[in-house]
């Protein structure tokens, strides 16, 4: 009887040691996975890469609705193929000079732009090449796309001195 009890204790010690070893391996694997994920997330935040090169970039029209959160804007940009991860975009916006400055409107963004360049346009800091924007009060905020103005100037007749009116 004593032999049998010692044998059971010995097998439970071995089984307990095995399960403890498996637990340690699982903890190590989890720590490595979490560390790698955190590194990748941080890398994506601080090393901004456009979705395509300058030569392969294509213009995409994006509409940001009034009241959209930064995450919703990020989701829209992700669906249009402009960014990879909306969560990374949210953190980039929080750490940028454009925190809380993104505005609603219609924008033309390019797949060769970094997130920071897109935020500059979405904050209406750089409106170069953007369509004219009309706010809720009906006021038009002109971008730097002067197609209408250039065509109007070209259609006006020149005076005899060669200067425009």
Q: What is the pTM of this model?
A: 0.65
Name the residue with tokens 């960014």: 83
pLDDT in tens, 142-155: 544 433 333 333 33
Distance CA 127, CA 109 (A): 11
Residues 120, 70, 87, 93, CA torsion sign: positive
Distance CA 50, CA 2 (A): 73
pLDDT in tens, 18-37: 888 999 999 999 999 999 99
DSSP per-residue string spanning 52-69? S-TTT--EEEEEE-TT--
Instruction: To the nearest 10°, report the CA torsion of 102, 40, 60, 68.
Output: -30
pLDDT in tens, 70-110: 999 999 999 999 999 999 999 999 999 999 999 999 999 99
End-to-end CA separation in angstroms for the chain: 116
């Amino acid at each position: 009887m004593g032999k049998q009890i010692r044998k059971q204790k010995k097998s439970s010690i071995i089984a307990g040691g095995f399960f403890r070893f498996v637990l340690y391996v699982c903890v190590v694997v989890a720590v490595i996975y979490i560390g790698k994920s955190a590194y990748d997330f941080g890398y994506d935040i601080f090393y901004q890469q456009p979705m395509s090169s300058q030569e392969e970039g294509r213009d995409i029209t994006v509409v940001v609705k009034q009241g959209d959160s930064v995450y919703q804007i990020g989701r829209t940009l992700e669906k249009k193929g402009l960014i990879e991860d909306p969560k990374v975009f949210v953190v980039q916006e929080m750490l940028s000079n454009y925190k809380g400055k993104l505005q609603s409107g219609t924008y033309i963004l390019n797949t060769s732009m970094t997130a920071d360049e897109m935020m500059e346009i979405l904050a209406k800091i750089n409106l170069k090449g953007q369509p004219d924007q009309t706010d809720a009060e009906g006021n038009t905020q002109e971008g730097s796309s002067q197609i209408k103005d250039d065509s109007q100037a070209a259609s006006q007749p020149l005076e005899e001195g060669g200067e425009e009116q």
